[in-house]
């Protein structure tokens, strides 16, 4: 079977106006590949970084890092999936903004029947990110305290619930009282409106001057130094995104001055590069969702044809929870 599929591509780096919807031939899966027909696609900040050129790509290139749908065909050597299986993924290379595609099979995961395609498309990149933040980056245990920026966003709302399910105290930040209320509803112990409060000082107040064990910061430039100031001695700073821009010209000696702090800059795609690790991580995420410990909140839906407006909305920080692109 070989046909055409609507696909979003960029031919140059730039703003949302560079996104183009074209027809592309799908083709057949080769060894180690699958052909998947999408029901929904996820939207993430990494898509904006790739579009803008912050994370440069060889052009032209399709965009999108996660989706869910039905396996139509499998190539030689693929044994964990079969035609007809429901599946979801977050995976390189980019190309998920489409009706159907052929792609490497290793990071495509069989989706439990109890999880809808929309939930699957919305949860993979963000949910697997939370999994590695809490289980693969630094040891965390019940009773530890975490500061989590953008706590009402897609990753944040999953993190609030994940922390609560494991007895970890999560202090969030968000840009409005309404977003703070949303984070609290999803399990945050406290949430600070950074638009009206000195959030770093408030973190110190909430921890009796001690600071937190771990900061999880996807904002980047605007929060970086305040995040370091929020840590207790020997604390861990996890910088996993650049929503406000990249951190430049950082003096490593500051970590010593502020209490022998630790700093890491992980990426999801390093953690899921190994097939077995990816499937194990997804199994834990699926288990949290099926058990009801984590509920996937989809607050924004855009037709695939409106992908440019979806990017504008995300970059303007006008979203809460998850955002998906719908098909059909």
Would you place residue 35 in the very low, low, confident or very high pLDDT band (cuts 50, 70, 90)?
very high
- The CATH superfamily of 138-265 is NAD(P)-binding Rossmann-like Domain (3.40.50.720)
CB count in 10 Å sphere of residue 146 = 24
**Mean of per-residue pLDDT scores for the chain:** 96
Question: Which single residue is written with the structure tokens 């489409």?
Answer: 98
pLDDT at position 203, please? 98
Q: What is the pTM of this model?
A: 0.94
How many whole angstroms separate alpha carbon 48 and alpha carbon 72?
29
Across 112-132, average pLDDT: 98
Domain ranges of the chain: 4-125+269-326, 138-265
Condensed to tens digits (0 to 9), the pLDDT of residues 241-268 reads: 988 888 888 999 999 999 999 999 999 9
Judge whether residue 328 has pLDDT over 90.
no
Across 216-222, average pLDDT: 94
pLDDT at position 242, please? 86
- Given the candidates 3.90.180.10, 3.40.50.800, 3.40.640.10, 3.40.50.300, the CATH classification of the domain at 4-125+269-326 is 3.90.180.10
User: What secondary structure, in 3-state letters, does the chain show?
Assistant: CCCEEEEEEECCCCCHHHEEEEEEECCCCCCCEEEEEEEEEECCHHHHHHHHCCCCCCCCEECCCEEEEEEEEECCCCCCCCCCCEEEEECCCCCCCECEEEEECCCEEECCCCCCHHHHHHHHHHHHHHHHHHHCCCCCCCCCEEEECCCCCHHHHHHHHHHHHCCCEEEEEECCHHHHHHHHHCCCCEEEECCCCCHHHHHHHHCCCCCEEEEEECCCCCCHHHHHHCEEEEEEEEECCCCCCCCCCCCCHHHHHCCCCEEECCCHHHHCCCHHHHHHHHHHHHHHHHHCCCCCCEEEEEEHHHHHHHHHHHHCCCCCCEEEEECC
Query: Six-digit token pair at 57?
Result: 């790509």
Q: Which of 184, 183, 182, 186 is nearest to 165 (CA)?
A: 186
Would you place residue 2 in the very low, low, confident or very high pLDDT band (cuts 50, 70, 90)?
low
Burial of 307 per CB tally in 10 Å (0-12, 13-18, 19+): buried
Q: Are 100 and 5 in contact (CB under 8 A)?
A: yes
Would you place residue 126 in the very low, low, confident or very high pLDDT band (cuts 50, 70, 90)?
very high
How many whole angstroms separate alpha carbon 168 and alpha carbon 214?
11
pLDDT at position 320, please? 86
Query: Six-digit token pair at 55?
Result: 């994370």
Which range among 139-143, 160-164, 274-278, 314-318 shows the weakest confidence by mean pLDDT? Answer: 314-318
Condensed to tens digits (0 to 9), the pLDDT of residues 187-197 reads: 999 999 999 99
Condensed to tens digits (0 to 9), the pLDDT of residues 37-80 reads: 999 999 998 999 999 998 999 999 999 999 999 999 999 999 99
Judge whether residue 270 has pLDDT over 70.
yes
Beta bridge partner(s), residue 73: 35
Condensed to tens digits (0 to 9), the pLDDT of residues 12-34 reads: 999 999 999 999 999 999 999 99
């Amino acid at each position: 079977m070989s046909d055409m599929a609507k696909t979003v591509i960029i031919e140059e780096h730039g703003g949302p106006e560079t996104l183009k919807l074209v027809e592309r031939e799908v083709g057949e899966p080769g060894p180690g590949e699958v052909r998947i027909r999408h029901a929904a696609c996820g939207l993430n900040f990494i898509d904006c970084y790739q579009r803008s050129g912050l994370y440069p790509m060889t052009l032209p290139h399709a965009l999108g890092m996660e989706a869910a749908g039905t396996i139509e065909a499998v190539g030689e050597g693929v044994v964990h999936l079969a035609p007809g299986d429901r599946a979801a993924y977050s995976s390189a290379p980019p190309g998920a903004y489409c009706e159907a595609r052929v792609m490497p099979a290793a990071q495509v995961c069989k989706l439990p029947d109890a999880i809808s395609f929309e939930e699957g498309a919305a949860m993979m990149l963000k949910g697997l990110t939370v999994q590695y933040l809490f289980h693969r980056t630094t040891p965390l245990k019940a009773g530890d305290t975490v500061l989590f920026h953008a706590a009402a966003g897609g990753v944040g709302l999953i993190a609030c619930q994940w922390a609560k399910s494991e007895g970890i105290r999560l202090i969030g930040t968000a840009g409005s009282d309404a977003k703070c209320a949303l984070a609290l509803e999803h399990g945050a112990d406290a949430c600070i409106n950074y638009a009206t409060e000195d959030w770093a000082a408030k973190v110190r107040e909430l921890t009796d001057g001690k600071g937190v064990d771990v900061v999880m910061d996807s904002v980047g430039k605007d929060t970086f130094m305040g995040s370091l100031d929020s840590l207790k001695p020997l604390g861990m700073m996890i910088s996993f995104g650049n929503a406000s821009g990249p951190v430049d010209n950082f003096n490593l000696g500051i970590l010593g001055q502020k209490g022998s702090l630790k700093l890491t800059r992980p990426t999801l795609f390093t953690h899921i590069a190994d097939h077995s690790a990816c499937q194990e991580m997804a199994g834990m995420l699926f288990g949290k969702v099926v058990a009801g410990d984590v509920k996937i909140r989809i607050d924004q839906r855009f037709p695939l044809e409106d992908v440019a407006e979806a990017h504008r909305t995300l970059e303007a920080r006008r979203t809460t929870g998850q955002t998906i692109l719908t098909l059909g």
